[in-house]
């Protein structure tokens, strides 16, 4: 998955006043001889592996285009409005990786976003979240990273032009304006599980980096925390009380989704969300995933909303059932039934796992149709959502006009939300985010 990052995540900074250079300048930390793997205890390395999983390090530090690359060796491409940014090699190779970094240098990078030599790093590296991690977690993570195979690989050069590439000024200014360094502070009003969940979600797992909208400088809008945002053409839905799906995101629904990639009522984790459960959170102890679920169930007020779930499921089943009654004259209903209805059909009391009830799925309820179009265009592979269950891509089988008709039809018949506007144009925009037809495209 190639991430597109907002303009200023590469730091289109404004210059600060006096004292700015003193703020933005960091000394170099002396290089070391790469540590012997045997200097770290197996327990410490194991704990570090879990921290790396919680922080998706290999997602952004492993090349995915050009046929892929070795784990953690960097060169993962992130597209920005100014040019492409390539992630660093963080294997312990002394020349092209971070083999000569002491633990102190590594910790400073995680907490402050500065490399060993003192150069400011772009916040596409989510140090604005990693700054909340404890010294102990970072020490374990260091042990894990330093005991991975060293890979000699120099990432491609960034194509971000002058003067935006002057890191001292752009990054320094961005940080001065937006960055609050500091460890996670437990909330004494909440229980230990909530605080564990918040620590993971806000720190290592940086959920808000996708689920919170960013301002024109690319900083997360703290006033709209977890209000939902667009990432790579998909909408990462609101995770607070603004979540529009008709059933509540309870602790159980959240746990199932974050652990297995599919929630019984809400359906599968697709697109950029898919690796979060499948590749990463599934490695964590179940208690940690429960803690994250506990934290978000509180943020979205599930306890107050949950009582409406049974009625919402009944309504959804009735709405979907209308397709099946009588001879269909509505041409949009016919189109939908021909393309989608064979699989997206639920009878009985509630949805069946592996056959998401569209009337309950975020794709139909969000303010914009992005996720519905993205699912139609990409399909869902057997690795996404529920394991071994797939949906074909309709990239070639449906044109923009027909995708728009299906979207309008589902919104009209399955929800009580206002009709989406300019659907055909938005279908074309969604299609344009795919450079080539997916391999699973039907016909």
Token couple for 228: 């939902």
- For residues 39 and 73, which CB has a smaller minimum distance to ligand HEC in the complex? 73
Residue 6 or 269: the one with the smaller Cβ distance to ligand HEC is 269
Shortest Cβ 123–ligand HEC spacing (Å): 8
Q: Would you give the distance in Å from CA 343 to the centre of its chain?
A: 27
The token duo for 337 is 């039934």
Q: For residue 278, say whether it is annotated as part of any ligand binding site.
A: no
Q: Which residues contact 401 (CB under 8 A, 6 or more apart)?
A: 424, 427
Instruction: Name the minimum Å distance from CB 159 to ligand HEC.
Output: 12
Minimum distance of ligand HEC from residue 172's CB (angstroms) = 13
Q: Whole-angstrom Cα distance, residue 182 to residue 30?
A: 24
Cβ neighbours of 94 (radius 10 Å): 15
Asked if residue 298 lies in contact with residue 291, where contact means CB atoms within 8 angstroms, the answer is no
Burial class (CB in 10 A: 0-12, 13-18, 19+), 193: middle
> Is 60 annotated in some ligand binding site?
yes
Alpha helices by DSSP H, listed for 233-275, are 251-260, 275
Nearer to ligand HEC, 64 or 315 (CB): 64
| Smallest distance from ligand HEC to CB 301, Å | 14
Residue 58 Cβ vs ligand HEC, minimum distance, rounded to whole Å: 8
CB of 340 to ligand HEC, least distance (A): 3
Answer yes or no: is 57 a known binding residue: yes
| Interstrand relation of 83-86 and 77-80 (parallel, antiparallel or unpaired) | antiparallel
Contact residues for 443 (Cβ-Cβ < 8 A; gap 6+): 396, 397
Q: Is 376 helix (H, G, I), strand (E, B) or coil?
A: helix
- Cα 335 to chain centroid distance, Å, stands at 33
Rounded to whole angstroms, the Cα distance separating 414 from 341 reads: 13
Residue closest to ligand HEC when measured from CB atoms: 385
How far is 105 from 92, CA to CA, in rounded Å?
Answer: 13
Q: Which is nearer to ligand HEC, 19 or 423 (CB)?
A: 423
Ligand-binding annotation for 61, yes or no, is yes
Query: Does residue 210 have a known ligand-binding role?
Result: yes
344 annotated ligand binder: yes
Q: Tell whether 129 is in a known binding site.
A: no
Residues 202 and 208 sit within 8 Å (Cβ to Cβ): yes
Residue 19 or 107 with smaller CB distance to ligand HEC: 107
Nearer to ligand HEC, 94 or 354 (CB): 354
Quick one: tokens of 294? Answer: 């506990």
* Closest CA relative to residue 199, chosen from 136, 270, 263: 136
Question: In the complex with ligand HEC, which residue's Cβ is closer, 17 or 408?
Answer: 408
Q: Which residues contact 350 (CB under 8 A, 6 or more apart)?
A: 265, 313, 317, 357
Q: Which of residues 318 and 442 has its CB atom nearest to ligand HEC in the complex?
A: 442
Give Rg (Cα) of the chain: 23
| Residue 282 Cβ vs ligand HEC, minimum distance, rounded to whole Å | 12
* Region of 257 on the Ramachandran plot (φ > 0 left; ψ -120 to 50 alpha; else beta): alpha
Q: Residue 130 and residue 22: Cα distance in Å, rounded? A: 23
* Residue 87 or 147 having the CB closest to ligand HEC: 87
* Preceding omega of 84 cis (within 30 degrees of 0): no
CB of 321 to ligand HEC, least distance (A): 17
State yes or no: 343 annotated in a binding site: yes
Task: For the CB of residue 196, give the shortest distance to ligand HEC in the complex, in Å.
Answer: 13
Residues at the annotated binding site? Answer: 57, 60-61, 207, 210-211, 340, 343-344
Q: Which residues are annotated as a binding site for heme c?
A: 57, 60-61, 207, 210-211, 340, 343-344
């Amino acid at each position: 998955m190639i991430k597109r990052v907002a303009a200023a995540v590469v730091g289109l900074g404004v210059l600060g006043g006096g004292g700015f250079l003193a703020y933005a300048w960091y000394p170099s930390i002396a290089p070391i001889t790469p540590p012997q793997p045997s200097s770290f205890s197996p327990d410490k390395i194991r704990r570090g592996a879990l921290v790396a999983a919680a922080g998706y390090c290999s997602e952004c530090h492993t090349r995915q285009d050009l046929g892929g690359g070795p784990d953690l060796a960097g060169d993962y491409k992130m597209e920005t409005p100014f040019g492409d940014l390539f992630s660093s090699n963080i294997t312990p190779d002394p020349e092209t990786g971070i083999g000569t970094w002491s633990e102190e240098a590594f910790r400073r990078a995680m907490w402050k976003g500065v490399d060993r030599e003192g150069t400011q790093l772009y916040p596409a590296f989510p140090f604005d979240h990693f700054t909340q991690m404890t010294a102990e977690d970072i020490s374990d993570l260091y042990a894990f990273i330093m005991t991975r195979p060293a890979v000699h690989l120099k990432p491609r050069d960034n194509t971000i032009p002058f003067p935006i590439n002057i890191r001292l000024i752009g990054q320094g200014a961005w940080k001065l304006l937006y960055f609050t360094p500091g460890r996670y502070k437990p909330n004494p009003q909440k229980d230990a599980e909530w605080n564990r969940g918040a620590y993971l979600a806000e720190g290592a797992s940086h959920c808000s980096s996708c689920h919170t909208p960013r301002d024109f400088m690319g900083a997360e809008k703290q006033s709209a925390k977890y209000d939902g945002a667009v990432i790579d053409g998909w909408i990462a839905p609101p995770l607070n009380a603004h979540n529009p799906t008709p059933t509540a995101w309870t602790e159980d629904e959240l746990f199932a989704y974050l652990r297995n990639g599919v929630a019984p009522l809400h359906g599968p984790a697709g697109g950029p969300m898919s690796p979060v459960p499948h590749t990463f959170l599934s490695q964590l102890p179940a208690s940690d995933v429960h803690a994250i679920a506990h934290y978000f169930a509180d943020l979205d007020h599930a306890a107050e909303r949950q009582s409406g779930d049974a009625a919402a499921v009944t309504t959804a089943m009735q709405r979907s059932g209308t397709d099946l009654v009588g001879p269909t004259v509505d041409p949009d209903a016919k189109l939908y039934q021909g393309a989608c209805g064979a699989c997206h059909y639920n009878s009985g009391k509630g949805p069946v796992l592996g056959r998401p009830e569209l009337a309950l799925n975020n794709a139909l309820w969000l303010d914009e149709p992005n996720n519905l179009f993205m699912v139609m265009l990409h399909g869902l592979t057997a690795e996404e959502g529920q394991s071994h269950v797939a949906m074909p891509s309709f990239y070639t089988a449906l044109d923009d006009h027909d995708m728009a008709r299906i979207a309008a039809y589902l919104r009209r018949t399955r929800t009580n939300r206002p009709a989406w506007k300019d659907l055909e144009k938005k279908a074309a925009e969604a299609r344009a985010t795919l450079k080539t037809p997916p391999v699973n495209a039907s016909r």
